[in-house]
């Protein structure tokens, strides 16, 4: 078995999907989890990107169906988490509007992130290291601060935290380990980016979100493809078992191997 085949098998990506069947399966998965957890609903952070938009659509379908079937109100809480001024926050609100979210809140993480960064710099200084927190380090703080806030809200409201992780992120390790990757459920996990887009079109994700460049929102101008040097087109084709440019394949497989620690559970002995 080739490394490509091993990766596909491990991540569970299908070469072709039935969009309606995939939506149904993922909505049922969310409903089942909420009921078994005796939760009040689902929490999804809406970044303004396509992944969180699709997850929002699935969550809203799940909680609407549960409310109708049981007579008890289940909520989908949409959380907007800008750092200061977010240039594309209108896209986050457009997603909430498209899926008619009744429950939504905005939690600006700037002050919390800046305080953590400052305390980190003080700690470094006490070690004789005089430096500012790096750009990547501050991006990491942003991701983790967002998760702290999500879990604080989820705890108070009895909600399940929904992640947007999918196979095209898993293969590259492009997520913050046990930061934005540590959630309760990941309803997109066996889809690649192309398939996420297929679900987005069917669910009715706004065009402004469908057509934007994917970004983790860690700093101004950051995009996933520029950061990794790998296009989502090649990434998705690879995960569907197709042949791609040998240089792109080598880069993707090397990225997969060097980020194994991110996909593995916390080791013990």
Which amino acids are annotated catalytic? 51, 169
CB 174, CB 254: distance < 8 Å: no
Cβ neighbours, 10 Å, residue 140: 17
State the helix-helix crossing angle for 89-98 and 50-70, rounded to 10 degrees. 30
Q: What is the DSSP letter of 26?
A: H
211 contact partners, CB below 8 Å, separation of at least 6: none
Structure tokens at 98: 């498209």
Return the closest-CA partner of residue 235 out of 202, 192, 267: 192
Rounded to 10 deg, the angle between the 3-11 and 246-258 helix axes is 60
CA atoms of 206 and 218, how far apart (whole Å) = 23
Q: Which residue(s) pair with 140 in the sheet? A: none
Residue pair 202/18 in contact by the 8 Å Cβ criterion: no
- Integer Cα distance of 132 and 115 in angstroms: 13
Q: Measured between alpha carbons, how far is residue 41 from residues 49, 77, 160, 162 in Å? A: 22, 8, 6, 10
Smallest CA-to-CA distance from 50 within 239, 172, 200 is with 200
């Amino acid at each position: 078995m080739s490394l490509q085949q091993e990766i596909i098998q491990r991540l569970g990506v299908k070469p072709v999907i039935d969009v309606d069947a995939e939506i149904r399966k993922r909505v049922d998965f969310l409903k089942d989890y909420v009921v078994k957890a005796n939760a009040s609903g689902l929490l999804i952070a809406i970044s303004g990107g396509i992944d969180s938009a699709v997850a929002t659509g699935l969550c809203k379908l799940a909680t609407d169906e549960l409310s109708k079937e049981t007579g008890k109100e289940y909520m989908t809480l949409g959380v907007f988490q800008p750092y200061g001024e977010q240039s594309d926050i209108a896209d986050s609100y457009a997603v909430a509007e498209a899926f008619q979210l009744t429950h939504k809140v905005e939690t600006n993480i700037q002050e919390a992130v800046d305080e953590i960064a400052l305390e980190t710099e003080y700690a470094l200084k006490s070690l004789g290291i005089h430096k500012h927190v790096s750009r990547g380090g501050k991006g990491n703080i942003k991701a983790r601060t967002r998760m702290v806030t999500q879990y604080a809200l989820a705890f108070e409201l009895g909600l399940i935290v929904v992640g947007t992780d999918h196979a095209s992120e898993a293969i590259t390790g492009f997520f913050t380990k046990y930061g934005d990757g540590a959630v309760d459920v990941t309803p997109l996990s066996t889809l690649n980016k192309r398939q996420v887009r297929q679900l987005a079109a069917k669910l009715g994700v706004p065009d402004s979100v469908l057509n934007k460049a994917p970004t983790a929102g860690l700093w101004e101008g950051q995009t996933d493809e520029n950061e990794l040097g790998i296009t989502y087109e090649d990434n998705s084709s690879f995960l569907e078992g197709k042949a791609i440019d040998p240089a792109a394949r080598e880069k993707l497989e090397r990225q997969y191997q060097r980020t194994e620690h991110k996909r593995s559970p916390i080791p013990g002995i």
